[in-house]
Amino acid sequence: MVDHQEYRKWSNGGGLCHNSACIDPTAVVEIGAVIHQRATLGANVYVGSGVVVGPSVTIGQSTSLGYNVALSNCSIGDSCVIHNGVCIGQDGFGFFVDEHGNMAKKPQALYVRIENHVEIGANTCVDRGSWRDTIIGDYTKIDNLVQIGHNVIIGKSCLLCGHVGIAGSATIGDYVTFGGRVAVRDHVSIVSKVRLAANSCVTKDIKEPGDYGGFPAVPVQQWRRQVAALRMNSIKDIQNS
């Protein structure tokens, strides 16, 4: 049960803040936002209406949270922008079949670490870790509607376009770019300075920098030859029919 007497109205915006939360006086917490116990908000943080900052969450200075953001089991660095509807720190999708043949939940007990100058687009989800923290590196920019699974590590200065899906425990280097709807399977490693064309699917480790595309993803010149060959075969089939 929540004791509402332990919450006070924040003078700079009108949101509700737990008495144990540590909030810099310059932070703005808009009406309708809730800051839970032991949360920490740095200088010049902006918290929009409808935001829920869970227990013990840390938010660095000059970070902005859009409307209806939900944060739990995480830390957010300095000068980040978290857009409307983002969810960070919820349980990852981890299950196993128990001795009775039923689906049982794997423990999801670790955290998400968002480093400095990160921007995360609307309605993106970042799951908490199970065997290691989920990490997003400095200056990485993430578009709307992206799914980042538990235990994923993303390096610095990466670009992830809309509808990208990264399965659990993938490791992604620095300066990596994913086009729209790129999919990455679980436990895959991608080296730094890789670019993936839209709709590509990474099914195994990428160990050399460069451009890749296709399903499964291959070096871009090889992918283009595959596409050209398929097109030529299609034209021949039409001519012969």
Sheet holding 177-178, edge to edge: 28-29, 46-47, 64-65, 81-82, 119-120, 141-142, 159-160, 177-178, 194-196, 210-213, 218-219
150 tagged catalytic: yes
Pairing of strands 81-82, 103-105: unpaired
Q: Which of 83, 117, 150, 163 is catalytic?
A: 150
Q: Is 69 helix (H, G, I), strand (E, B) or coil?
A: coil
For residue 228, the tally of other CB atoms under 10 A from its CB is 10
Amino acid of residue 113:
R
As a whole number of angstroms, the distance between CA 184 and CA 182 comes to 7
Q: Which positions are annotated as active-site residues? A: 150
